[in-house]
Amino acid sequence: MLLMLAFGLVTFAVAIYAVFEARILLGFWHKARHGRAGQILPKPKKKRTNKPAPDVTVQLPIYNEGAVALDLIRAVSRLDYPRDRLHIQVLDDSTDGTSALIAPEVNRLAKLGLDIAHMCRDDREGWKAGALAAGLAVSDSEFVAMFDADFLPPPNYLRSVLVEGSAFDDPQVAFIQGRWTYSNERQNLLTRAQAILLDRHFVIQKPFQMAGERTILFNGSAGIWRRAAIDSVGGWSADTLCEDMDLSYRCALKGWIGTYEESLVCPSEIPASLFAFKLQQRRWAKGSAQCVRKLAVDIIRSKQLRHRWDDLYAALGYVLHPLLLSYTLLWPWVVLDEGVWAVTFAGQMSLTAANLIGILGFALTSLISRRGAGFRSLRDIGFALMLGASLMINNTFAFIVGCFERASVFERTPKQGKARRPSRAGFTVAKWCVTFELAFSTYLLGLAWYMIGKGFYAEAVPCVALGFGMAGAVLYQYFELPAASERAPLRRSIPARVRLALRRNTAE
């Protein structure tokens, strides 16, 4: 009885998830397409060129990212914006020698007349949020733009928004979020699958939210903030790992509006290694859970938010993985127990609906992003689904910890830059996670074999698919593991470009 009750609750939660996802797809298609003169994506607002350029500070938070930091600084130095109105802050918390690499470049740009400051702190108090807050403490600009180390803003990024654009003419607009693109999307199967996962957010979900006046979340990079909005809610807060989500909701609860400009494109790098990807996902899952713990009650009670349940669902995105893990653990025993037929059937239908909606969403994303519908796109969509499923243990653990943990360490995602291979430095994915994934895949395949032996052929399919998918992910990770000789010396944790710069500086 308890088994059926637990499975029934999980089935109900999966059904709710499927309903919300279906609403996003249908709402996007109806409002974001037909509601905008047949355009699938929002049309860029008409530009104006007669506004004076406001004062803007560009913040570049960096931590041990020598592989990409120089490219970012040089890209920002090429921004087409009046020099007397542009201020750049390199917020450098590095401890591995990256500071020595970028200092000469910052000095060179300063001598050329660029207002650029290299700001280093004695500690990493507050992590990224602390670095951003420290930069704001010495800035009085009206607007603040932010770019993570692996982003390359095009020259017209600021001008198109602050001078030619009209979004900030509305005094209630707190920030503008641009669309991420991916400079290394075609590097391997993993990067192509991630591009589909991320584009579902930028191509489907955000236009749907814009069309229905739902809360738009800042994604932490490639965006421009109105300084007054940040100050009005007490500034950046470091009590979650998703400081961007936290600030977005706190501003929305105060009546501020976030907006999304699909035409405001900024290239970025996505993890080319499964270890780096899982590290990033673990941080996002834990941070979103911390935001839910902190703000869920305020969101539900808010009178400012017009779509409170949609806004809460956006914060609960990572709850899918605990649900999927619970379903997978319970499903074989529910089938073998031969309990209430209606509950078993409802479980099958809920999971099938969720999978079909996921496939449809990724297919629509692929078509809109002009990736086509050929064999490669279908293969990438299939891998994206399996990739999401393989994160069950990694993200479930992170989400549960985030629901209870208040103090967390901000672990940066390793960057590759122009290196031929993904960097192996900085991988901190716990060995226990890989061990649990291997044990869980063995458990699923063993149960599938037993179910097939009992004649439950169709019911064994989810266990077979997830078991082989997770086993494949474990093998993929095994071949990515750094050898012991690569992990031991401290100098190996410093990217080659940084070590070369250090040798040159020492020689000089």
- Residues marked active site are found at 93, 244
Q: Are 210 and 259 in contact (CB under 8 A)?
A: yes
CA distance readout (Å), 361 to 23, 95, 311, 367: 11, 41, 19, 10
Nearest to 88 by CA among 65, 63, 55: 55
For 108-123, b/e burial (b = at least 16 CB within 10 A) is ebeeeebebebbeeee
Give the orientation angle of helix 189-199 with respect to helix 341-368, to 10 degrees: 100
CA distance readout (Å), 296 to 143, 153, 210: 29, 34, 21
Token code pair at residue 34: 């037909």
The residue behind tokens 């814009």 is: 210
Determine the Cα–Cα distance for residues 427 and 481; give it in Å rounded to an integer.
9
Nearest to 218 by CA among 242, 182, 194, 253: 242
Is 304 strand, coil or helix? Answer: coil
Q: Are 266 and 311 in contact (CB under 8 A)?
A: no
Q: Are 99 and 502 in contact (CB under 8 A)?
A: no
Nearest to 149 by CA among 198, 188, 196, 96: 96
* Cβ-based burial of 170 (10 A; exposed 0-12, middle 13-18, buried ≥19): exposed
Determine the Cα–Cα distance for residues 34 and 371; give it in Å rounded to an integer.
22
Q: Are 422 and 271 in contact (CB under 8 A)?
A: yes
Quote the distance between the C-alpha of residue 351 and its chain's center: 25
Determine the Cα–Cα distance for residues 27 and 161; give it in Å rounded to an integer.
27
Determine the Cα–Cα distance for residues 154 and 239; give it in Å rounded to an integer.
32
Q: Are 88 and 116 in contact (CB under 8 A)?
A: yes
The residue behind tokens 């930091």 is: 69
